[in-house]
Amino acid sequence: MTERRFRRDLSSLQFIFAFVRECFRAGGLDEEAAWDVDLILEELFTNMLRYSAGAADVAIAMDWTPPILTLRLRDYGVEPFDVTRAAPFDVDLPLEARRAGGMGLHLVRCMSDRLDYEHAGGTSTITVIKRLA
């Protein structure tokens, strides 16, 4: 698994996307699939920035074992927030009846084959499994 740490700042997104491209090139993956991975990581990373009070860098790791791509995000020194237990997003509600938030995690769930969460010793770990063709 290849891992890098990224500052807790929105400007880190450009470096996260570059990391994704680097890993895709190293694994011989079609970069078209990288757009889905970008969206997944952007949503999970920005949620970590927005909703947790951690100060340490966020670690993002990727592993390609064909046909499975594994993504792992670790946020250090934070309270638990289990993304797998977040309320489902009701796509059938009219816009004026929807509450703010939740759509990003809905997209992550739809784009992933599996989403796991663990919290131990002040560290939140989100693992995303995505099958690639």
Whichever domain contains 122, its CATH number is 3.30.565.10
Q: How confident is the model at residue 7 (pLDDT cuts 50, 70, 90)?
A: very high
Q: What total number of domains does the chain contain? A: 1
Helices assigned H by DSSP within the chain: 13-27, 34-51, 103-111
- Nearest-angstrom CA–CA distance, 119 and 78: 9
66 pLDDT above the threshold of 90: yes
- Domain holding 81, by residue range, is 2-131
Place of tokens 């509600």: 93
In which band, very low, low, confident or very high, does the pLDDT at 90 lie, cut at 50, 70 and 90?
Answer: low
**Residue 56, SS3?**
coil
Q: What does the pLDDT read at residue 56?
A: 93
pLDDT at 83: 87
Record the pTM: 0.88
